[in-house]
Amino acid sequence: MKHYPGPVGRLIGELSKLPGIGQKTARRLSFYLLGRPKAEVKDLADAIIDAREKTKYCSVCNNLTEKDPCEYCTSEERDQGTICVVESPKDVIAMESTGEYNGLYHVLHGAISPMDGIGPDEIKIKNLLPRIKEGIDEVIVATDPNAEGDATAMYLAKLLKPLDVEVTRIAHGLPVGGDLEFADEITLSKALEGRREIKY
């Protein structure tokens, strides 16, 4: 990192901490930023700070939000009788982009993965139960279509069985082993449309 003026070296160092950004990319981005107008560079820095400072997790559904409870939980236009359970806020975005879902969400922030020591207590299942008691008809489990996502779906189906709520799983129209957030909208729409009750 020598040879660089101090602040440039520091910027390269910070950028190269980001996932998928190596030394050369960090260097390229740094020199790009050094050549941009100050206002534009400040916009980027402000956006980084703002996004981190102003967003929090909704106390009801755990989704990323500016206000608590979030817009989905408080919207009168959304179907308050359905909850879609997903692993991460990114998955909420993916579901929304289908335009086919208009219910509520519950973000688990992970999936059950015994191999990694992640059990039901390590993800945000606890605040899902009181939500079900308030009169939810259906819980759509839209965890990732892989072993962890399926295990989480099974766990939820068993957990919610006594609560007299229909628990469904989005169809495996999704490529198995894949990652929900990268699914294209049509595949995701089909998966949502073909959801079936979890049998065990």
Footprint of a second copy (CB under 8 A): 2-8, 10-11, 13-15, 17-21, 24-25, 27-34, 36, 38, 40-55, 64-66, 88-90, 92-93, 96-97, 182
CB of 184 to a second copy, least distance (A): 12
Residue whose entry in the numeric block shows the structure tokens 């975005």: 93
In whole angstroms, what is the distance from residue 184 CA to residue 173 CA? 11
Residue placing its CB nearer to a second copy in the complex, 122 or 166: 122
In whole angstroms, what is the distance from residue 95 CA to residue 41 CA? 32
Instruction: Determine phi and psi for 84, rounding to 5 degrees.
Output: -100, 120
CB of 82 to a second copy, least distance (A): 17
CB of 92 to a second copy, least distance (A): 7
The closest of 118, 82, 89 to 192, measured between CA atoms, is 82
CB of 171 to a second copy, least distance (A): 22
Residue placing its CB nearer to a second copy in the complex, 28 or 195: 28
Residue 44's alpha-carbon distances to 18, 30, 51, in angstroms, are: 15, 12, 11
